[in-house]
């Protein structure tokens, strides 16, 4: 009763596990690897055209991760920082953002708000806030999953990035019928979040993007 073209269109805009659950009525339980084609996406990107970034703010023992790439999904720079004074981390991040003229989404919530205001003074209009919440996180993660499934991304061969992407999971809660996205216990997900923020930036901030010089 549904136009097959409509089904094909939907399949191109949602991750495979969501499509299987919501449209094929498959039973999904437990945790499953989320991102496909991770190793197939490894390559070398050229830093030309409009440049975008995603910054995940580290807390406690987490890393602060900055990912920078092009509008067409070519990630050519990723760097992470930890166990340093916040001022030093902010200065390092600001230097990279200005170096590449990267219009960057910065995660904001709680501690991130303070970080954002300090970074804003150094980078001006190059950064934009992105509030991560229980509503926005699934959107950004699912968008990233779709980008990998459609082979839109080229990522550097960084061991920690590959490990985090391959370990990242989703768990379907039978009681709430909601999907929870997270890294397994003991594994970081900072580079995954940073990459997903970059992915959002390249898609939604393209009209504001600056050209690399």
The token pair that represents 136 in the structure block: 């926005």
Q: What are residue 171's DSSP bridge partners?
A: 31, 180
pLDDT, tens only, 9-36: 545 554 555 545 544 545 445 455 689 9
Q: Which of 98, 48, 100, 99 is closest to 74 using CA atoms?
A: 48
pLDDT at 182: 80
User: Considering the entire predicted model, what is its pTM?
Assistant: 0.82
pLDDT, tens only, 93-134: 999 999 999 999 999 975 558 889 999 999 999 999 999 888
* Location of structure tokens 């097959």: 4
Report the percent of the chain where pLDDT is more than 90: 59
pLDDT, tens only, 168-186: 987 766 565 567 788 888 8
pLDDT at 210: 47
- Catalogue all structural domains in the chain, each as residue range(s) with its CATH number: 36-162+189-211 (3.30.420.240)
pLDDT at 21: 52
């Amino acid at each position: 009763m549904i136009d097959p073209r409509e089904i094909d269109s939907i399949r191109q805009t949602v991750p495979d596990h969501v499509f299987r659950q919501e449209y094929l009525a498959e039973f999904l339980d437990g945790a499953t690897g989320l991102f496909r084609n991770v190793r197939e996406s490894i390559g070398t990107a050229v830093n030309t055209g409009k440049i975008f970034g995603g910054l995940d703010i580290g807390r406690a023992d987490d890393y602060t991760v900055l990912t920078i790439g092009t509008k067409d999904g070519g990630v050519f720079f990723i760097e992470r920082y930890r166990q340093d004074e916040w001022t030093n981390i902010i200065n390092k991040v600001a230097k990279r953002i200005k170096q590449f003229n990267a219009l960057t989404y910065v995660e904001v919530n709680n501690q991130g708000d303070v970080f954002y205001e300090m970074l804003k003074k150094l980078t001006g209009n190059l950064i934009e806030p992105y509030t991560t919440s229980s509503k926005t996180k699934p959107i950004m993660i699912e968008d990233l999953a779709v980008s990998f499934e459609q082979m839109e991304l080229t990522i550097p061969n960084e061991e920690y990035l590959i490990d985090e992407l391959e370990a990242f999971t989703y768990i379907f809660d039978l009681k709430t019928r909601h999907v929870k996205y997270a890294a397994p216990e003991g594994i970081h997900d900072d580079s995954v979040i940073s990459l997903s923020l970059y992915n959002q930036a390249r898609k939604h901030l393209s009209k504001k993007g600056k050209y690399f010089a």
